[in-house]
Structure 1
Amino acid sequence: MGEALVAEGDLLDLASRALTAGGMREDEAAQVARVLVLADLFGVRTHGISRVPQYLDRVRIGGIDARAEVATLRVAPGLATVDGRNGIGPLVGMRALEAATEGARAAGIGAAFARGSNHFGPVMPYALLAAEAGFASIIASNATTTIAPWGGRDTRVGNNPIGIGVPNPGGDPVILDMALSVAARAKIRALAEKNEPMPQGWATDSAGQPTTDARAALAGFLLPVGGHKGYGLAVMVDMLAGLLSGASYLTRVQAWDKNPGAAQDLGHVFILIDTARLGSTEWLRERVADFTAILHDTPAADPASPVMLPGEREMTSLARGRQEGVRVAEADLQKLRTLAG
């Protein structure tokens, strides 16, 4: 499959036009495009513009409402709820980010709990936008069930992503964005399509037995990172993002790939901290510089692979993509062009 380099602005315009043609309002389509194009700039192509056709397929069959009136309710100076009303996920995510930002500006720390949502892309774009505005963040979502409870052999827990971001005035923020399985289902699917084996420890078959057969793994379930600790973290993310938000949780969440015509009712949580309330810009810059230097100065076990901070590889990809163009698959680009008319 060929690849293409596309200027960020051109890709934003194309994705926005495709989403608008699919039923979204222009201004809201632009917000969704911003999240997805940032994903591609970070090199997270499984969550970038390749998702546009998937989202719009679900719109066409009634699984997502492209013109949903997302509603935000402020329940306290630093706390808001967001009802996605089954809108396109990154739009709900952006509204939740805005609500949490507003709360943090007012109270120093702000939280938004979203319900009635769908797949909202990766966490990293939201954490970057927050960091650029001076906010540290904790952002998480629940997801379709793909992980078995520790000691169980049926999928009851989602591969729930969580991210933590810290701003770095004048430099790249430090951002962790991780799902809670050892490997993403998309990676296993890609190996299955190529009939290639899968590393041991990624997933089990449908009987709960370890396997290196990617096809068997797709019929089974993912293994959590860190064993029982990863399971516990996935459960608690769902309690925050799903249970407390009023969204669906665990097996109540609809699987978009198995039942694309049903509303998923995913939940998200956004917690933002106004770092300006903790100290001056110069104070934060100096502390982050010292913190990162301690890690970067660690002698590398392999000189060809120096020690990096969470998100550093993605931030390097972002800078390169903004200079040289966003690297995308030709097939995904062609699908976007077709959808945009």
Structure 2
Amino acid sequence: MDNALNAPSLTEAALAQLATDALRGLGLSQRDAADASRILVLADLFGVTTHGVSRIESYGERLEIGGIKPQPSIQLEKVAPTITRVDGDNGVGPLVGYRALEAAMEAARTHGVGIAFARGSNHFGPVAPYNFIAAEAGFASIIGSNATTTIAPWGGKDARLGNSPVGFGVPNPGGDPIILDMAISVAARAKIRNAAKRGESIPSTWATDKDGKPTTDPKAALDGFLLPIGGHKGYGLALIVDLFAGVLSGAAYLTHVKSWVDAPDEPQDLGHFFFVIDTRTLGSTEWLAGRMNDFTEILHSTPAADPASPVLVPGEIEMQKLARQRRDGITVDPEILSRLQAYAARAA
């Protein structure tokens, strides 16, 4: 609580510079550090602090012991006019993801559609920043990644699936894009870790213990399995995301993915996929803006069951936080700030 009250506030530019310097201090080049930081700072701007610049500490731990390459040789292979295969060479996840997004958007600018499959990567942050960057450039997108196994197959009693996130984004020229960023579990593992650190209980719908029984104890949950959204339907969705992100990309999949907790010194070989569509091939920006505004108005005008909680569209809360924090500054936990400053001092 005291940390929250005393937390400093930084401008977007200041936090981006600090995150960039921190990654440089961990061995990344200036350009790579800046691009990776863009993803993480956007996460904080959206209010997804569990996947923002705080992640640099866990990345740093693996960079320092050789589990991640600070200066990878990322290779782009054009396997078809619209499809690029990206070998991340075990680089920092947000960097590999950013390079793959760039490749997909470049193809879409020429052909209307661009696809990139990435392998040899690591945890790449939340999906929403990638969807947002694509939307700002006029692209609709479907983006996903596989992950370390934390979910048991439906009816099973052992973790064989990752909490593989997937995101969807559609631009709204002149307005806020609609972005849906979702993990397949009811709650992210990071939320359970944070509850354990604070000594708080968790809802019984979040996870099970190691015997597959629902639990409110975050420590037992960390030894058990995450529960998927929608029961067997969530299991199916997690499976499909891993087929695209892991199998089709040439990356590791299911139990072949290394755990960054259990084997931090070994490459994870995570996979990601990026499908982007240049919406300008479908119609003018005015055409799309008119349709998007009408679309959101139909939803916003729905009578609310609770007048205090009006109907929202996916990503609306995050867009509001983005606007507010760009105006007022981004609050950063003092411990995280101190860690970033320590890494950044190495780059001085």
TM-score (norm 2): 0.97
Residue 50 of structure 1 pairs with residue 54 of structure 2: yes
User: Structure 1: which 5+ runs fail to align?
Assistant: none
- Identify the residue that residue 188 of structure 1 maps to in structure 2: 192
SS at match of 1:137: strand
SS at match of 1:164: strand
* 1:233 CA displacement: 0.3
- Identify the residue that residue 247 of structure 1 maps to in structure 2: 251
- Identify the residue that residue 166 of structure 1 maps to in structure 2: 170
Contact 1:77 1:106 in 2 (8 A): no
- Identify the residue that residue 94 of structure 1 maps to in structure 2: 98
* 1:323 CA displacement: 0.6
Deviations 1:171-217 (A, max 9, x none): 00000000000011111112222222211211111011111121111
User: Which stretch has the larger CA shift, 26-35 or 190-199?
Assistant: 190-199
Q: For 1:313-332, what aligned pairs fall within 5 Å after superposition?
A: 313-332=317-336
- Aligned counterpart in structure 2 of residue 126 of structure 1, from 103, 117, 130: 130
Residue 265 of structure 1 pairs with residue 269 of structure 2: yes
Deviations 1:81-121 (A, max 9, x none): 00000000001000100110011112111100000000000
Distance 1:322 1:215 in 2: 36
- Identify the residue that residue 227 of structure 2 maps to in structure 1: 223
- Identify the residue that residue 83 of structure 1 maps to in structure 2: 87
Residue 64 of structure 1 pairs with residue 62 of structure 2: no
User: Would you say how many aligned residue pairs link Structure 1 and Structure 2?
Assistant: 341
* 1:41 CA displacement: 0.4
- Aligned counterpart in structure 1 of residue 207 of structure 2, from 185, 203, 208: 203
The one-letter amino acid paired with 2:290 is E
TM-score (norm 1): 0.99
Contact 1:80 1:112 in 2 (8 A): yes
Residue 299 of structure 1 pairs with residue 299 of structure 2: no
SS at match of 2:332: strand
Distance 1:313 1:327 in 2: 17
Deviations 1:204-257 (A, max 9, x none): 110111111211111100000000000000000000000000000000000101
Residue 274 of structure 1 pairs with residue 298 of structure 2: no
SS at match of 1:226: coil
SS at match of 1:110: strand
Deviations 1:15-62 (A, max 9, x none): 111111110000110001111010000000001110112111101101
- The runs of 4+ residues in structure 1 deviating greater than 3 Å are none
Contact 1:127 1:175 in 2 (8 A): yes
SS at match of 1:59: helix
SS at match of 1:63: coil
User: Structure 2: which 5+ runs fail to align?
Assistant: none
User: Which stretch has the larger CA shift, 258-267 or 322-331?
Assistant: 322-331
Deviations 1:111-165 (A, max 9, x none): 0000000000011111111001100000000000000000001000000000000
SS at match of 1:116: strand
* 1:328 CA displacement: 1.6
Distance 1:86 1:196 in 2: 35
- Identify the residue that residue 22 of structure 2 maps to in structure 1: 18
SS at match of 2:116: strand
Distance 1:318 1:194 in 2: 27
SS at match of 2:8: strand
Distance 1:129 1:9 in 2: 17
Distance 2:343 2:268 in 1: 24
* 1:77 CA displacement: 1.1
Residue 74 of structure 1 pairs with residue 78 of structure 2: yes
Distance 1:53 1:191 in 2: 19
The one-letter amino acid paired with 1:144 is T
The one-letter amino acid paired with 2:119 is R
* 1:309 CA displacement: 0.6
Distance 2:204 2:60 in 1: 35
Distance 1:201 1:12 in 2: 36
Q: For 1:138-149, what aligned pairs fall within 5 Å after superposition?
A: 138-149=142-153
Residue 311 of structure 1 pairs with residue 315 of structure 2: yes
- Identify the residue that residue 236 of structure 1 maps to in structure 2: 240
RMSD: 0.7
Distance 2:96 2:304 in 1: 41
- Identify the residue that residue 9 of structure 1 maps to in structure 2: 13
Distance 1:189 1:47 in 2: 13
* 1:297 CA displacement: 0.5
Taking only the aligned residue pairs, the percentage that are identical comes to 61
- Identify the residue that residue 39 of structure 1 maps to in structure 2: 43
